[in-house]
Amino acid sequence: MERLQKILAQAGIASRRGAEEMIRQGRVKVNGTVVTNMGCKIDPQQDQVSFDNAPIRLEEKLYILLNKPAGYVTTLSDPQGRPIVSDLLPGISSRLFPVGRLDLDTEGALLMTNDGQLGNYVLHPSYEVNKTYEATVRGLPSPATLRRLAAGIRLEGGMTYPAQLRILKQFKDRTRVEIIIHEGKKRQVRKMFQAVGHPVLGLKRTAYGRLRLGNLASGKYRILTKNDLKKLFTGKIPFTIKNIPA
């Protein structure tokens, strides 16, 4: 017997947290009956589960690294009709969801998968999966300002965790800074630099853990291997990877 939200995550409907919200909204049925109980457990071999009245099926796990261009939203649909990241996955029939988000105007590394368990591990702060960004900011931040950001600053919602920062290149009126964090708060990097008087002019995520974009072209993706997934975590990978090429 397994929890209903876990089955939904395994089916690629959403992350486990997202699946819980869908259950609360009454969008999930088990054997034809709407279920809103978070503690519901089912037998995936016996029980029939549907989402928005469509039967779900468990898919083989698929993991993709996409180099997201600016101008795409990291959702599975958009009421405003803007381009969505799944438009960039030609030939992929599995329903994949993004692990975390990148703003419309932010580009770079975006994990996409139908494995809700992996998504939870990557996003949960306790596993400390580092996210590396290159931020082009206005002005020339001083060493003291960078130390302040590295130590953690107070934003709306509390203090940020310690970060790692280094200057990549300085220009006359702007600076390119590498910043490594393991949190995933909305627009966090932009808010951090805004708080110290150096607003972000351009932002790109270049890595999750030791999994880097490398020479992956903008708008392109590659399917990840078991060795790629191991690069996400600093220690032992916290779950079992099955049926994935090494």
Catalytic residues: 103
Residue 184 token pair: 């995933």
What is the C-alpha separation between 243 and 224, in angstroms, rounded?
Answer: 12
Give the residues across from 21 on adjacent strands. none
Helix ranges (DSSP H) in 72-163: 116-123, 143-151
- Pairs from 46-51 (Cβ < 8 Å, separation ≥ 24): 49/4, 49/7, 49/8, 49/11, 51/8, 51/11, 51/13, 51/22, 51/27
Candidates 187, 191, 161, 167; CA nearest to 179 is 167
Q: Specify whether the CB–CB gap between 246 and 228 falls below 8 A.
A: no
